[in-house]
Chains A and B, each alone.
Chain A
Amino acid sequence: MKRNRRKTTLFLVLSPVTAVFISLFLGRYLIAPSDVLKVLAAKVIPIPQNWPETLNTVIFSIRLPRILTALLIGAGLSISGAAFQGLFRNPLVSPDLLGVSSAAGFGASLAILLSGNAGVVQVSAFLFGLAGVTLAYLISRVFRTTPLLMLVLSGIVVAAFFSALISATKFVADPIDKLPAITFWLMGSINSTTYQDLAIAFFPITIGITGLLMVRWRINVMSFGDREARALGIKTEVLKVFIIICATLITAASVCISGLIGWVGLVIPHIGRMIVGPDHKALLPASIALGAAYLLIIDDIARIVFTSEIPLGILTAIIGAPFFAYLLRKTRGGWH
């Protein structure tokens, strides 16, 4: 039992590390693993450079920012999904339940329509994402509490509303340059990520992840429902808002640099539960590791397998949906 747990931990730690290493040497420009090691080592210890400068550029300017972004977003979306599934007591919930993705998508579409400046698009996406969730929360608030069903329904309302607004911006957008820009943005991709993008998303995502990790055990108690959690001494409304804020910071920040990347936050917690069980104390860290490795591998597939790159958001759905169907069949909906 104990040895098993150690093996599991080792597997969870090694999977993103291995994925990073593989991602560094795989690509249209293939780099030998030994060269990757040398280039990395040269950053820390002085080794005479006997490799072409291109290697440095490929590894540090192209691959590394993209890899770090995939790790960060994969980890963030997965832990948010795991936290939301616990909070909403439903394993079919994903982190955009409260409308954050549609709202952020509208924020981005609007900014593309009006300005087109990449920075403005990101900030607008982020702020609209936060505003959308705040709106869903306010709609569902009755008598100083927010019943879960009300929250879920408000989330659907907000998502539907902003989806309609996205269509409206597309409808009025110039079909030559603005419309494709909006459409591609919404598909979700991290193929042109820079360190600057990474820097923008880094703080909201790490703050959100840290917050969720701190309350992860209490999510167990919350998953028994508001009434019981209250009887166990928890200020349920405060904790609920805290979890929603953390998950929303993560999701909004992810969407603002990568566009809409679905299915990760829904699927990964299930794989986590199969490996470490339903206890959120273990599930949240496991989701971080699995989500980071998963999104990185999918992104590798996106950039390597096809001659012209497929947007990541399409691939996560193409791979995620059948995989989820497989899980459904295998567990017969019993979530093991």
Chain B
Amino acid sequence: MALNPILRLEDGTFDYSGKAVFRNLNLEVLRGEVLCILGPNGCGKTTLLHCLGGFLDLRNGCVKLNSTIVAKLSELELARKIAFVFQNHETPFPYSVLDVALMGRAPHIRIFSSPSRKDEAIAEDSLARVGIRHLKEKLFTRISGGERQLVLIARALSQEPEILLMDEPTSHLDFKNQTLILQTVNKLANQGLAIVMASHFPDHALLFSHKTALMKDGTLLATGLPSEIVTDENLGDLYDMEISVINTEDPYNGNKLTIAVPRLA
């Protein structure tokens, strides 16, 4: 099996007008893999994701997509390979769910054209892949937060990307919807997509990722399999608090589980 990383950050450094956000980072993600970047608020996760997606230029180092340097690709070329699900969304207009999913076809439609029937079919298929085809006529502004997040994932899928970048895809969602989103993410990875997701919940890394990077103050404390690096000690360093990582078994189906809980005084 070829294990060439599809997206790779080599020695990446970024600063905002002289103030370093992160320094000399190395990361890679393979096809079919979920990489979870775990870290407290303000550690530089979002900036890192924006650099991986080519929205921000690194000060030093480079991001490579297969073997091409991302900084050299145009917006259009990037959008055909990398899709981004942002954290905050406001839409002023009540578009239908299908219309929103269709917008993901923008990088494939010529500038003076509108979507064709084929584009509509692809958008509908994207909705089906995240399990919400039945919502297609509904208004994007009138569905639940979890459903809206799924629509935006469907929009990203309509781009037919190879890589999906997600910034805190579960923020502002309730427990059930968080699980729904993360299970969808896992399913998409199983279908061959490479996914990089930022999160601040250790359980997201433990339950849903193949690879985890622990990020603090612009550096990576550790990168690797969640079972190996998500430990009491590493999490303690990451969040500056005492945390227990517990290996257990789901009493209902016998599945092995690892969860992280804060040690309460």
Contact = CB atoms under 8 A, between A and B. Distances in A.
Interface of A: 86, 89-91, 214-218, 220-221, 223-225, 227-235, 273, 277-279, 281, 335-336
B107 A224 contact: no
Given A232-B107, A233-B79, A227 B114 contact: no
Contact of A279 (B99, B111, B113): B99
Main DSSP-derived SS at the B contact region: loop
Contacts of B115: 217
Given A227-B55, A227-B86, A230-B55, A214 B92 contact: no
Given A221-B106, A233-B78, A235-B76, 8 more contacts: A214-B112, A217-B113, A229-B106, A231-B86, A232-B107, A233-B75, A233-B76, A335-B92
Interface string B222-241: 00000000000000000000
Given A221-B103, A335-B94, A235 B114 contact: no
Interface residues of B, number: 30
A225 B152 CA distance: 14
A278 B75 CA distance: 26
A224 B91 contact: yes
Contact of A218 (B86, B91, B111): B111
A214 B103 CA distance: 16
Given A215-B111, A220-B99, A232-B159, A335 B93 contact: yes
A234 B94 contact: no
Contacts of B99: 220, 279
9 contacts: A89-B92, A217-B109, A217-B115, A220-B99, A220-B103, A224-B89, A229-B106, A232-B103, A233-B159
Contacts of A220: 95, 99, 103
Interface string B136-150: 000000000000000
Contact of A90 (B86, B89, B92): B92
Contacts of B211: none
A86 B93 contact: yes
Given A218-B106, A218-B111, A220-B103, A231 B95 contact: no
Nearest to A278: B93
A231 B103 contact: no
Instruction: Kindly list the 6 A-B residue pairs having the minimum CB-CB distance in the complex, ordered from nearest.
Output: A233-B79, A233-B107, A278-B93, A217-B114, A214-B112, A232-B106
Given A217-B114, A281-B114, A231 B92 contact: no
Interface string B113-147: 11100000000000000000000000000000000
Interface string B184-223: 0000000000000000000000000000000000000000
A234 B96 contact: no
Contacts of A232: 79, 103-104, 106-107, 159
Which interface residue of A228, A229, A233, A279 has the most chain B CB atoms within 10 A?
A233
Contacts of B80: 233
B84 interface: yes
A182 to B, nearest CB: 37
Given A231-B55, A232-B106, A233-B79, A215 B112 contact: yes
Which interface residue of A216, A220, A223 has the most chain B CB atoms within 10 A?
A220
A216 B115 CA distance: 11
A142 to B, nearest CB: 13
B32 interface: no
A234 B106 CA distance: 8
B83 interface: yes
Interface string B26-59: 0000000000000000000000000001010000
Given A215-B111, A221-B106, A279-B95, A234 B86 contact: no
B111 A278 contact: no
A229 B78 CA distance: 12
B93 A223 contact: yes
Nearest to A273: B93
Nearest to A89: B92
Contact of A233 (B55, B90, B95, B106): B106
Contacts of B95: 220, 278-279
Nearest to B113: A217
Contacts of B114: 216-217, 281
A218 B113 CA distance: 9
A209 to B, nearest CB: 14
B93 A231 contact: no
A228 B55 contact: no
A230 B75 contact: yes
Nearest to A230: B75
Contact of A228 (B86, B93, B111, B112): B86
B187 to A, nearest CB: 22
A269 to B, nearest CB: 10
Nearest to A234: B106
Nearest to A236: B75
A231 B84 contact: yes
A255 B159 CA distance: 42
Nearest to B82: A231
